[in-house]
A and B are shown apart, each in its own frame.
Chain A
């Protein structure tokens, strides 16, 4: 049977992708951020997961406002990326696991999560930057992926409580897959940041640190916030916290925090990183 071995949360700021491609990891601006990752690389080398379920949000590459799914899941053999309009260097396609994806979709829909199913899906920096951060130092990325895309573009966004429940259903879906597969669940984005409006540049360290504590020990406390509460406290794009909560829902009630890092600022964002392991 498949089993979940842990969960990772990481920011996915596009500037990180540029810093990696330019080799800026040791520069003063970047070092406190990139220094958070080697302990996670070591953990991944030790546990050797087969599949990464990556919960992220599309920023207007794959989905336009003509059709915005609240929850979309990739079910393809591979996932392409593009330059997103900024001339970003596209990366090699990412391997999927279509059979596992379809199992997850079957299970979620049976569990009353009526997801959009995508056999073609461009993945943007919300997906690719975490892949680069976690496996980009390898010659080849040694893992298959299942992208889970949550709408953070068009309000109303799904509530934190709904996303946490999606995560629980996702956890059940993964654990009911009959092939022996080690799975890591990754929630990307956040933490506090705001790109638009007169409040651009808003960051809230106190709120972020509270979220990083609660997501380990008491994630349900975070599900009591509304989306607008999160926008108010974490900035308009801080709503990406719902990706983190979805990841947390997929794990067991009891998890242990293996590693974390928090750094302000990377670009306009407070960057957060966590590694949670399932209790033995």
Chain B
């Protein structure tokens, strides 16, 4: 794992979801996986505190969920594929999520994507 971690430092702005992240984020990702079910999404929206407690989120994860902050969620061990289901509850797509993480407006983020093709 050390060899992987060493190489990962070469990739800026990127967290490789390895065993260390998986261990850290298990409860958070398990909660987000539950959002595949509509009933779980409703239960979360009805009582967010109770739902987070049910999955045993730690304080860092709870705060990141409260803040709806994707970079914090990743730092707390979140995996983007499961986090996308959390974002989906609020109708946010991957461009909204990308804009938030890069500190751009959604329009600026979309313009950056278009520019990549030019």
Are chains A and B native binding partners rather than an unrelated pairing? Answer: yes
User: Quick one: which of A65, A82, A199, A201 contacts B12, CB cutoff 8 A?
Assistant: A199
Q: Chain A: interface secondary structure? A: loop
Known: A15-B93, A196-B74, A268-B113. A231 touches B33 (CB 8 A): no
A143 CB within 8 Å of chain B: no
The answer to whether B117 touches A268, judged by C-beta atoms less than 8 angstroms apart, is no
How many Å from the CB of A162 to the closest CB on chain B? 16
User: Quick one: which of B13, B35, B116 contacts A265, CB cutoff 8 A?
Assistant: B116
Chain B residues packing against A (C-beta within 8 Å): 4, 7-8, 10-19, 22, 26, 29-30, 32-33, 35-36, 38, 41, 70-71, 74, 79-85, 88-89, 93-95, 97-98, 101-102, 109-110, 112-114, 116-117
Instruction: List residues of chain A with CB within 8 A of the CB of B16.
Output: 155, 228, 231, 236
User: Quick one: which of B7, B79, B81, B101 contacts A200, CB cutoff 8 A?
Assistant: B101
The answer to whether B102 touches A264, judged by C-beta atoms less than 8 angstroms apart, is no
Instruction: List residues of chain B with CB within 8 A of the CB of A259.
Output: none
Interface size class of A (residues with CB under 8 A): 35 or more
A23 CB within 8 Å of chain B: no
Which of A65, A66, A87, A203 has the most CB atoms of chain B within a 10 A radius of its CB?
A65
User: Quick one: which of A82, A87, A155, A263 contacts B17, CB cutoff 8 A?
Assistant: A155
Q: With the chains together, A153 CA to B19 CA distance in Å?
A: 11
